[in-house]
């Protein structure tokens, strides 16, 4: 009886699951995909462009297109294509960093492609050029270093740098000195050590600041003087022209009317006045130049203390200099 009851229950359950007339229930339709955003569409277009460039071996364009696609819409597949592009191009250090990022993204999403990325890292490791940069002890601590035009932290010199094969330039700069450049050529799989030359700052050199009041005052006086000279010269030329016109009414120096005589006197007075004003402008320029030239302040005083040890004498000597 228990067996018969169990059989009936199983049969009823099967009939119920199958639905009416024994037909299976239809599978629910998957939800519609969300519409593409502008960034998503741009990323897809750039990805397609990258694949086309890669097929025609235009590696610089291909890698750039993949990188821009990744920026617009990050994806594991796009990151792997960046790595593939650099690897095919022969830029193994760049490919290594790209595969490292792909592995990180895949692991975060528990994606099996992390295994593939890790295998590629193992394959590339022996092909990558390594460069160790050494800076001599005692080099200027404020020096700034540029690797291929990009600033690099001095702390990174502790470990070997992974770089692509080819020429590289390391530039060291310090305040007030021209930079010193060191060049190196790397081959695939090569390990090289390079000592970088750093400019030296001469001890005892002092930058003396200028007196701002005297400097800017001198500049202002020079500017004002130039304007005064220009205006006075222009007015004097006009007065000269008026004087010549007035002389037409005074043949042989004898003016026929009082008005003509007065006109010549006015023109002469204006010309004489502008001569004086122009001289004042020249004086202003001279004073301004003097102020600018003497605006450099005095060098700060240097003090030193020296121990004195001699037979019967023990003490210190103090001195100062400018």
pLDDT, tens only, 3-30 = 333 343 334 334 444 444 445 566 666 6
Q: How would residue 209 be classed by pLDDT, with cut points 50, 70 and 90?
A: low
- Asked if 147 and 168 touch (Cβ cutoff 8 Å), the reply is yes
Give the separation between CA 52 and CA 59, rounded to whole angstroms.
10
Nearest to 179 by CA among 227, 216, 145: 145
Mean pLDDT for 33-37 is: 71
Q: Which of 60-74, 99-113, 169-183 has the lowest mean pLDDT?
A: 169-183
pLDDT, tens only, 154-177 = 889 889 999 999 999 999 998 888
pLDDT, tens only, 236-268 = 777 677 667 666 666 666 666 767 677 777 767
pLDDT value at residue 9 = 34
pLDDT value at residue 129 = 96
Q: Which of 147-151, 161-165, 239-243, 306-310 has the lowest mean pLDDT?
A: 306-310
Q: Give the tokens for residue 33.
A: 């995909």
Could you tell me how far CA 168 lies from the centroid of its own chain?
19
The residue that leads in pLDDT, 199 or 244, is 199
Helix (H) or strand (E) holding 5: helix 2-18
Mean pLDDT for 303-316 is: 46
Give the separation between CA 79 and CA 241, rounded to whole angstroms.
81
Establish how many alpha carbons lie within 13 A of residue 76's alpha carbon, considering only the half-sphere containing its beta carbon: 15
pLDDT, tens only, 271-281 = 778 788 778 87
Q: How would residue 33 be classed by pLDDT, with cut points 50, 70 and 90?
A: low
The model carries a pTM of: 0.53
pLDDT value at residue 207 = 53
Rounded to 5 degrees, what are φ and ψ at 291? -65, -40
Mean pLDDT score of the chain: 79
Instruction: List C-alpha distances in Å: 35 to 32, 38, 71, 125, 154.
Output: 9, 10, 19, 41, 48
For 51-81, the three-class secondary structure string (H helix, E strand, C coil) is HHHHHCCCHHHHHHHHHHHHHHCCCHHHHHH
Give the separation between CA 148 and CA 185, rounded to whole angstroms.
12
Nearest to 194 by CA among 129, 128, 126, 142: 129
Q: Beta strands of the chain (E only): which ranges?
A: 130-135, 144-147, 150-152, 161-162, 166-173, 180-186, 191-196, 302-310, 313-321
Most confident option among 56-60, 170-174, 224-228, 255-259: 56-60
pLDDT value at residue 25 = 60
pLDDT value at residue 307 = 43
The strand order across the sheet containing 144-147 reads: 150-152, 144-147, 166-173, 180-186
Instruction: List C-alpha distances in Å: 99 to 82, 174, 213, 299.
Output: 8, 37, 61, 58
Q: Give the tokens for residue 269.
A: 């007075």
pLDDT value at residue 175 = 86
């Amino acid at each position: 009886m228990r067996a018969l009851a169990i059989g009936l229950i199983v049969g009823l359950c099967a009939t119920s699951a199958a639905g009416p007339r024994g037909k299976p229930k239809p599978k629910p339709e998957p939800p519609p995909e969300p519409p593409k955003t502008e960034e998503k569409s741009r990323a897809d277009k750039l990805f397609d462009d990258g694949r086309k460039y890669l097929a025609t071996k235009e590696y610089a364009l291909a890698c750039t297109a993949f990188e821009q696609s990744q920026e617009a819409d990050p994806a594991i597949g796009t990151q792997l294509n960046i790595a593939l592009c650099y690897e095919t191009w022969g830029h193994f250090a760049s490919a290594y960093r790209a595969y490292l990022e792909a592995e990180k993204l895949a692991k975060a999403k528990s994606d099996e492609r992390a295994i593939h990325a890790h295998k590629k890292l193992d394959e590339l490791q022996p092909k990558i050029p390594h460069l160790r940069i050494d800076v001599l002890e005692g080099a200027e601590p404020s020096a700034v270093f540029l690797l291929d035009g990009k600033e690099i932290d001095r702390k990174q010199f502790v470990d070997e740098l992974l770089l692509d094969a080819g020429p590289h330039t390391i530039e060291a700069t310090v305040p007030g000195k021209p930079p010193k450049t060191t060049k190196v050529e790397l081959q695939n799989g090569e390990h090289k050590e390079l000592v970088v030359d750093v400019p030296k700052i001469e001890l005892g050199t002092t930058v003396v600041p200028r007196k701002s009041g005297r400097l800017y005052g001198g500049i202002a006086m020079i500017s004002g003087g130039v304007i005064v000279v220009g205006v006075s010269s222009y007015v004097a030329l006009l007065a000269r022209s008026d004087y010549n016109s007035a002389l037409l009414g005074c043949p042989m120096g004898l003016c026929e009317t009082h008005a003509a005589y007065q006109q010549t006197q006015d023109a002469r007075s204006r010309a004489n006045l502008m001569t004086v004003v122009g001289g004042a402008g020249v004086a202003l320029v001279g004073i301004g130049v003097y102020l600018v030239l003497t605006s450099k302040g005095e060098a700060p005083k240097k003090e030193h203390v020296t121990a004195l040890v001699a037979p019967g004498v023990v003490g210190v000597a103090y001195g100062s200099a400018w």
